[in-house]
Amino acid sequence: MELGSRRIYTTMPSKLRSSSSLLPRILLLSLLLLLFYSLILRRPITSNIASPPPCDLFSGRWVFNPETPKPLYDETCPFHRNAWNCLRNKRDNMDVINSWRWEPNVCGLSRIDPTRFLGMMRNKNVGFVGDSLNENFLVSFLCILRVADPSAIKWKKKKAWRGAYFPKFNVTVAYHRAVLLAKYQWQARSSAEANQDGVKGTYRVDVDVPANEWINVTSFYDVLIFNSGHWWGYDKFPKETPLVFYRKGKPINPPLDILPGFELVLQNMVSYIQREVPAKTLKFWRLQSPRHFYGGDWNQNGSCLLDKPLEENQLDLWFDPRNNGVNKEARKINQIIKNELQTTKIKLLDLTHLSEFRADAHPAIWLGKQDAVAIWGQDCMHWCLPGVPDTWVDILAELILTNLKTE
């Protein structure tokens, strides 16, 4: 017992010394932990999960650089439409037109890599629905993508107006022509009726019925780009052949003017898209492609024989509706579209501003047919290819691939 007690008393001091040496360490560790957690708690909760705002590819400037790489295609692309093939039609200044590069204000814009794009889109399909400005867009897209797959073939299934199939990647890119998006048809009047008021006939527009050209094809596509607006004017539907709007099979009374009619069609088509097009489909709405008629409209000897882009301080003179100029309708139509789409998941493809500068890049008088200008006037609406729509393609490809990565 004495020996045992002795052991106890001789070992106790070493244990006390050990405990006393640990105490400061425990206190220090506790303080460090408190400090660490206080710093964590002070941080905004969203700091680790908030992503930076997406880059605005639509605001920027055109920069002239003679060293800009040449376009990815030339006049031999089999998907060209003759009137837009400005190289074949020997339009002046094509080298200069394609030496301007769009530079967004706060980020870079890379030229599309056709092989990478088609590789990431393998087994997917892209569809354009709308008027000839979307066709202009499509032709640029097809000619660029063909660089990655020269075996691409023309494709016209599923009521497509035109398109291409890229067999190396099992990708289809096509265009469905539907200039008003809604169903419309010509209704002729007898000569006796026409003589009474000068109206030869009317175009019936069913505001709540999508056009046959696209109503049953949307589920085929993984990406859809819609547009409308370029046909909504009195130059297309003058008082002798006006639009008459119907809803649920009956004429709308009192009759609607063109822009209120467009607004109603837009509401119904957007509602249809939201309701019927698969949710997984990536949807874009391309805003207006601006016209550049100077000195009169297309049927009034309007011209666009300019040799360089407009300056920023000239844009409002050409396009602000308050100035009531020849090209005023683009911004007016855009505002209607923006108002309608603001609560939807359809993404705005706002190519208007960057295109407003490029008064120099239309086919103008170089239309490939001898009497085309005498019959139709200069083309200051569509774009030379290669040309401005190639930049549209760069932006669209960037947005498509960005959205695919975040799915």
CA 247 – CA 256 distance, rounded (Å): 12
Instruction: Establish if 39 belongs to a structural domain.
Output: no
162-166 and 153-154 strand pairing = antiparallel
Answer yes or no: is pLDDT of 17 > 90: no
Instruction: Establish if 9 belongs to a structural domain.
Output: no
Q: What share of the chain is helix, strand, coil (3-state, %, to 5)?
A: 40, 20, 45
Mean pLDDT is highest, among 155-159, 282-286, 366-370, for: 282-286
CA 216 – CA 158 distance, rounded (Å): 9
Answer yes or no: is pLDDT of 14 > 50: no
Q: Would you state the pLDDT for residue 297?
A: 86
pLDDT grade, residue 405 (50/70/90)?
confident
Phi and psi torsions of 17, nearest 5°: -60, -40
Residue located via tokens 């295109």: 355
For the record, the structure tokens of 243 come out as: 């639009």
Closest CA to 301 of 234, 238, 383, 376: 376
Answer yes or no: is pLDDT of 258 > 70: yes
Predicted TM-score (pTM) of the model is 0.85
* Number of structural domains in the chain: 1
Quick one: angle between helices 132-145 and 388-406, nearest 10?
80
CA 16 – CA 25 distance, rounded (Å): 15
Q: Would you state the pLDDT for residue 4?
A: 40
List the alpha helices (DSSP H) in 61-214.
Answer: 94-97, 114-120, 132-145, 191-197
Percent of the chain past pLDDT 70, that is, above it, reads 86
CATH number of the domain where residue 227 is located: 3.40.50.1110
Phi and psi torsions of 375, nearest 5°: -85, -45
Look over the chain and give the mean of its residue pLDDT values, rounded to a whole number: 88
Give 104-137 pLDDT, tens digit per residue: 999 999 999 999 999 999 999 999 999 999 999 9
Average pLDDT for residues 92-103, to the nearest whole number? 97
Between 345 and 195, where is the model more confident?
Answer: 345
Residue located via tokens 């497509």: 160
For the record, the structure tokens of 21 come out as: 């040496």
Instruction: Establish if 270 belongs to a structural domain.
Output: yes
Count of H helices and E strands in the chain? 11, 13
Closest CA to 79 of 155, 20, 185, 7: 155
Beta bridge partners of 206: 183, 246
pLDDT grade, residue 44 (50/70/90)?
very low
Give 162-197 pLDDT, tens digit per residue: 999 999 999 999 999 999 999 999 999 887 776 678
First and final C-alpha spacing in the chain = 78
Instruction: Establish if 24 belongs to a structural domain.
Output: no
Q: Would you state the pLDDT for residue 289?
A: 98
Q: Using an 8 Å Cβ cutoff, are 171 and 124 in contact?
A: yes
Percent of the chain past pLDDT 90, that is, above it, reads 76
Distance of CA 362 to the CA centre of its chain: 19
**What string of DSSP letters covers 133-165?**
HHHHHHHHHHHHHTTT-TT-EE---TT-SEEEE
321 upstream amide cis, omega within 30 of 0:
no
Instruction: Establish if 394 belongs to a structural domain.
Output: yes
CA 65 – CA 326 distance, rounded (Å): 31
283 membership: H or E segment, kind and range: strand 282-286
Between 25 and 168, where is the model more confident?
Answer: 168
Average pLDDT for residues 330-341, to the nearest whole number? 96
* Rounded-to-10 torsion of CA 140, 141, 146, 148: 130
Q: Would you state the pLDDT for residue 18?
A: 45
Instruction: Establish if 146 belongs to a structural domain.
Output: yes
Instruction: Establish if 350 belongs to a structural domain.
Output: yes
Answer yes or no: is pLDDT of 9 > 70: no
| Domain housing 137 | 60-406
Closest CA to 236 of 372, 131, 114: 131
Give 150-164 pLDDT, tens digit per residue: 999 999 877 789 999
Instruction: Establish if 15 belongs to a structural domain.
Output: no
